[in-house]
Chain A
Amino acid sequence: MTITCYINNTKQKADSNETILSVLNRIGISIPTLCNMKELSPTGACRLCVVEDAETGELITSCSTPVRENMKIFTHSPEVINARKTIIELLLANHPENCLYCDKSGNCELQKLSEDLNIREKVFYGDLMSRKTDRSSPGIVRDMSKCILCGRCVRICDEILGISAIDLINRGKNTSIETVFQKGLFYSDCIHCGLCVTACPTGAIMAKSSINQVIEKLGNNKTTKSIMIPTTTIANIAVSYNIRKYEDARNMLVAALHSIGFNKVYPMSLFNDFFISEATSIIQNRLKNSPQPLIITDCPAIKKYIQIKEPELVEFLCKIPAPQQIGAKILSMQESTDLLMSVSPCIAHKYEAVQTQNTNKGVPEIDFVLTSDELDKLLKTLGITLPFTRKETPDNPANSDSSAGVFFETKHGITEGIVRELFHRSDLSVQLNRIIEIKPEKDFIEYEFEINKTYYSVACISGIENLVKYKKQILQGNYLFVEVRSCKSGCIDGCGQKLTDSQDSQKRLRKTLSEYDEKTSNNTPGKNPFIKGFYRNNKLGNIF
């Protein structure tokens, strides 16, 4: 039902089911919020979004109150501003005063709010918060003294994932965010998807940084050092520094990394090719009859999620490890290196690197995993300015890749690669660049194709919460396979890519990768010379 309301004395139309906040957003009035989350029902916890009901003079939360017919609202009356300001001042009273040393500085919503509300002086003096820092996880640090208890991380972990590795504990002044029996994230059900890192408005939950250790290792001239860089990281750099072409960004990055002491730099595309090749082999066997569902993913978070939340799906999970671990195996067959590092668009791979199956007598095969953001910071710390002046080609064997391996890391990249490779191996003369149309807004897509007069269909699910939503389809859909990615845009919007977390830059990122893909003729792993050579000596389908 359409109703009329008056906002700051101007007449507005609204739907009677709408909240005040949604009306305000629609007409372009911005209201500060902390606890409100798109897609989740309002909790009304932060009280920042209050507006004044002109009739009663009461302050009401716009996020949770529905509009009424003839309602009159003031969104920025002195009383409202004053209340919002006092709320933030209360939060600042016991917030650790070390913004200068905080990783979040510049990106912090609390900082931004106090700036926007023009709080330029400390009003209340509280006893500074002393809560524990949880460093147990390899990927996430939770410095709870910075937590403002907005509850966003908790709700993401609960309402989106259903994992609840962290929850609010205790009550009143002792409320805090904790894992079960306060044992630490590593010992909890945390799947290291990084959603809470993205959700947290302050520096309370952050990706764990290994920059300082890496810098120390880099200073040692006697050792050999190698690094693998994902294609999304390269695209991330390209977009952040306005480098048009993927290959330029890649080569600049290679040169830059060489210059700070890495002997070998390997784009991940080669190992993505391996992933595709291996997966394709498994699937080729299923072409005749595909009795069981098959879930394919390169995402360690999804794998752990399935183990914890949907154990009955475990048997359908494709066992191929993620490209970085494939890389570690392939490289160890090639030549030895003292230090092997990898970069990742998110923190899940930090966790993957220390999972027992990826360690050798307790020593991880990969020594450090940095996020894209950390890599950027590392370069800055070591005096590199991007765009870099020099370009160098990637090191052997990663100088050989296919564009499917480059495109692999975006949404439906796995499927695209596998289908291409299937066509390629079936000697079909189809146009291989861009088989599946990209639909950024869709969480679930199906694609149907034909090989030798038989039709097959595959599906892609993006977003971890959609695994449960589309579980029935996975189990009963008769798909050749289903690709599952925990982030909505593949790896592009991983939590380690803060540099480019706007919708717009994600679009540009995707474009950078697909433009490269569309013009490259080496477009499927089967056409990658190194892969071809490798499989002459090793049998497909059983090296891992």
Chain B
Amino acid sequence: MKNLKDKTYKTLFIDAVELEKAPQYSKPVEMPHIYVERNTGSIVSGIDATIQYIKKYFDKDENYKLIETGSLGISSFDPVIGIQIHGRPLIFFKNVTFSYVSTILDSILNHILPESDFILGQISHTGLSSWADVPELYQLDIFAKQNRRILKNFGLIQPDFIESYIDYDGYKAFAETITRKTAAEVCNIIEKSGLRGRGGGAFNTGKKWQKALNTGKSQKYFICNADESDPGSFSGRLLAENNPHLVIEGILIGAYAVNARKAFIYIRNTYTLAIERLENALFQAQKAGLTGEDIFGSGINIEIEIFKGPGAYVCGEETALIASMEGERGTPKPKPPYPSEDGLFGQPTVVNNIETVCNVPYILNYGGDEFQKAGLNNSFGTKLFSISGKTDITGVIEIDLGTSVAEIMDICITKQRQPEIKAVHIGGPSGGFIDPDKFSINLDYETAIDNKLGLGSGSFLVLDKTNCIIDITKYFIKFINNESCGKCIPCREGSQRLLEILNRISEKPSEYNKHESLLRFKGVTQLEQISSLMQKTSLCGLGQNAPNTILSGLLRFRQEYEEHIYERQCEANVCRNLKEYYVVVDNCVGCGICAKKCPADAIIGTEHQAHFIIQDRCIKCGVCEASCKFNAIMIK
């Protein structure tokens, strides 16, 4: 090995990359720099049109620089643009759809602030004269309450330029690792840091690596699991799309640590932008000598390849993922043997979640002790949560493990609106509901499990009074039912039965016989019975964790179940097939009060004659029943 010890790591790349190309917001600029945050979310919100309008605005004037960066993480701000003009710090604007482009540019280029609705924040810097009355970006509640380690510099880094990543000290950890540390040392550091898998299993990552490192076989594989297909979880996409080099750096360190010469990124085929950027990043990394043969003269070869997952949630499970990479149906296999002994093509294979991988450079840069400064109990470090649902902001936030639900709520929803919140569903299909009384619980791995939750890959779905617990449960069970690989009976048939029972209790009986009512009433006990079977006997985590939603729902929202079953009442008025209102012709005097009150215009009839309810239009609000003085409206 060449003696690289005294070189600073950036000089390692000097031939391959032109670092001066990387724009630096902390330095003054001559011509205007326009940062556009381009990612899947912002594309849907129209960033591409915004970009077009920016180009149109400057037209032939080439005295500006357009910089395509990744996302800040909060997609409800999309489309976001940042502008830095001469002598001024970078200032960000939110929700800039194309129609506002010229207004904003008009004013800002003239050093005037536009309407405050658009202003997000600025990043002040010495030597640059700050915008008056504009908050500091990172002091905004939404960012200040986070602990952005992985997400550091997101929104500033240009995913398509390796220079930009390196400029923010990217690849430092890897360069130092490969030149100064042995594989066993790396495993050790990671083990000591207490980093646990972010993919759901929460297994100690360093231990897993050590196991693989110590198997005798020479051919080994490292797989980064980016097959994020859980509904409501989009942190993996955020990482891959907006900072692909971070992912690659993590993988390189991991592969080095377990002595794997070949690594894969298993990513869902629908993540087109992420794949594009990863491919580009891999190309650049190769050019910079970060992958390929004899990396930095260390004699070590590591290759990284992208595998596009053809789409099946269960392929996130590691044995299924491996099966699918081998060209099989993606069905899980019984463990043991574990992939770390007998994985891809029969060789020892380490599978790590993309977020786990992204934690690795941080640990190597700052050390395990620093890493452990965040976290609670045995859950160290930070965790990304994907916030969605009835919140004020939607997006990915990074907080310490062990943060309480209430604290997260404070980040994503205003205090006034919080009382409207009925529940949070955490952890996607493997997670469960939590009610406001329990918002004080801390989200570390152990406490979560004690409370019948799984953190899963960190989805945080906020529900308010207009959402029905049964409906959301049905949604997740339907998902499971579709996404179960269909191999084992408890999961395949169990989820089918669960769905049938849930359907039964959220609809009116089709025939009114004793048998059907009995089935409805038995529903709850059967839900529990099937859930317990699935937990205990399913082959893989999909089936084992699927009942969490049901069980936590039954535990915390039992009343809602009972209302559905016994009173055929859905408070949120989502389960509209629970009842059918109809007019008892004999009682109806044709006063027309109900028709006037009906908000859906579903009641018709001529005066003094019996009225009629158009079922297709009826939204089951019950106003008519309450308004009729003649008991002429009844429920079926």
Residues of A in contact with B (beta carbons under 8 Å apart): 42-48, 50, 58-59, 61, 64-66, 79, 83, 86-87, 90-91, 93-94, 123-127, 148-149, 151, 168, 170-175
B71 near A: Cβ within 8 Å? no
Residue B614 interfacial (CB < 8 Å): no
Q: Which residues between 477 and 501 of chain B lie within 8 Å of chain A, taking CB atoms? A: 480-490, 492-497, 500
Q: Are B530 and A45 in contact (CB under 8 A)?
A: no
| B299 at the A interface (CB under 8 A) | no
Are A172 and B537 CB-contacts (below 8 A) given A124-B497, A125-B519?
no
Check B312 for interface membership: any CB of A closer than 8 A.
yes
B500 and A126 contacting across the interface, CB-CB below 8 Å:
yes
Number of chain B interface residues as a range: 20 to 34
Q: Interface 1/0s, chain B 321-342, versus A by CB < 8 A?
A: 0000000010001101000000
Nearest residue in A to B500 (C-beta to C-beta)?
A126
Query: How far is the CB of A170 from the nearest CB of chain B, in Å?
Result: 7
Q: Compute how far the CA of A73 lies from the CA of B496 in the bound complex, rounded to whole angstroms.
A: 31
What residues of chain B lie closer than 8 Å to A175, measured between beta carbons? 485-486, 492
Query: B514-552 vs A: 1/0 string, CB under 8 Å?
Result: 000001000000100110010011110000000000000
B489 touching A171, Cβ below 8 Å: no
What secondary structure prevails in chain A residues at the interface with B?
A: loop
Q: Return 17 A-B CB contacts under 8 Å, by A number.
A: A44-B333, A47-B489, A47-B490, A59-B537, A65-B336, A86-B529, A90-B497, A91-B489, A124-B497, A126-B497, A126-B500, A127-B500, A149-B492, A168-B329, A172-B484, A172-B495, A173-B481
- A86 x B486 contact (CB < 8 A): no
Interface contact B329-A45, CB-CB below 8 Å:
no
Residues facing A in B367-389 (CB within 8 A) are none
Say whether A173 contacts B496, CB under 8 Å.
yes
Give the complex CA separation of A172 and B526 in angstroms.
Answer: 21
Query: A44 and B530: CB pair below 8 A?
Result: no
CB of A86 within 8 A of CB of B530, answer yes
Given the interface contacts A42-B334, A87-B489, does A124 sit within 8 Å of B484 by beta carbon?
no
Instruction: Report the nearest B residue to A148, measured CB to CB.
Output: B489
Minimum CB–CB distance from B487 to chain A (whole Å) comes to: 5
Closest to B480 in A: A172
**Contact status of A90 and B494, CB under 8 A, knowing A124-B526, A168-B329, A171-B312:** yes
Instruction: Decide: B539 and A45 in contact? CB cutoff 8 A.
Output: yes
Given contacts A65-B336, A173-B482, 6 further A-B contacts (CB under 8 A): A61-B539, A79-B536, A124-B497, A124-B526, A126-B500, A172-B484
B539 contacts which of A47, A151, A168 (Cβ < 8 Å)?
A47
The residues of A that contact B480 with a CB separation of less than 8 Å are: 172
Q: Which residue of chain B lies nearest to A79 when distances are taken between CB atoms in the complex?
A: B536
Q: Which residues of B contact A148 (CB under 8 A)?
A: 489
Binary contact readout B434-468 vs A (1 if CB under 8 angstroms, 0 otherwise): 00000000000000000000000000000000000
- Across-interface contacts of B492 in A (CB, < 8 A): 149, 172-173, 175
The A-contacting residues of B in range 117-167, CB under 8 angstroms, are: none
Per-residue contact bits, chain B 183-196, to A (CB 8 Å; 1 contact, 0 not): 00000000000000
| A44 in complex: contacting residue of B329, B484, B496, B539, CB < 8 Å | B539
Residues of B within 8 A of A59 (CB): 536-537
Q: From known contacts A90-B493, A172-B486, A175-B486, infer whether A66 and B336 are also in contact, taking CB-CB under 8 Å.
A: yes
Residue among B329, B484, B536 with max Cβ neighbours from chain A (10 Å)? B536
Q: How far is the CA of A150 from the CA of B538 in the complex (A)?
A: 14
List the B side residues contacting A174 at CB < 8 Å: 482, 486
With A59-B536, A93-B497 known as contacts, the answer to whether A171 contacts B484 (CB < 8 A) is yes
Q: How many A-B residue pairs have CB under 8 A?
A: 105
Q: Are B488 and A93 in contact (CB under 8 A)?
A: no
A172 touches B538 (CB 8 A): no
Q: Knowing A45-B487, A86-B530 are in contact, say whether A94-B496 is a contact too (CB < 8 A).
A: yes
Q: How far is the CA of A151 from the CA of B312 in the complex (A)?
A: 20
Which residues of chain B come closer than 8 Å to A127, judged between CB atoms? 500
For the complex formed, measure the closest distance between the CB of A97 and the CB atoms of chain B, giving whole angstroms: 14
Distance in Å: Cβ of A43 to nearest Cβ of chain B: 7
CA distance A44 to B493 in the complex (A): 15
- Per the bound structure, the CA–CA distance linking A173 and B333 in Å amounts to 19
Inside 8 A of B533's CB, which chain A residues have their CB?
83, 86-87, 90
Query: Could you tell me the distance between the alpha carbons of A308 and B480 in the complex, rounded to whole angstroms?
Result: 38
Q: Which residues of chain B have C-beta atoms less than 8 A from A94's C-beta?
A: 493, 496
Residues in B neighbouring A83, C-beta threshold 8 A: 533, 536-537
Contacts of B537 in A (CB 8 A): 47, 50, 59, 83, 87
CA distance A348 to B132 in the complex (A): 88
Q: Are A58 and B536 in contact (CB under 8 A)?
A: yes
Which single member of A64, A90, A123 contacts B489 (CB below 8 Å)?
A90
- Residues of B near A86 (CB, < 8 A) are 490, 529-530, 533
- Give the complex CA separation of A45 and B334 in angstroms: 9
A104 to B487, CA, bound (A): 24
A415 to chain B, nearest CB (A): 40
List of A residues within 8 angstroms of B482 by Cβ: 171-174
Cα A46 to Cα B481 with chains together (Å) = 17
Interface contact A173-B526, CB-CB below 8 Å: no
A61 touches B530 (CB 8 A): no
* Cβ contacts under 8 Å, B530 to chain A: 86, 90, 124
Interface centre among A58, A79, A83 (most CB of B within 10 A): A83
A45 touches B488 (CB 8 A): yes
B493/A93 in contact, CB under 8 A: yes
B486 to chain A, nearest CB (A): 3
Chain B nearest CB from A505 CB (Å) reads 32
User: Are A47's CB and B488's CB within 8 A?
Assistant: yes
Question: What residues of chain A lie closer than 8 Å to B329, measured between beta carbons?
Answer: 168
With the chains together, A94 CA to B333 CA distance in Å?
Answer: 26
Q: Which of A47, A65, A149 contacts B486 (CB 8 A)?
A: A149
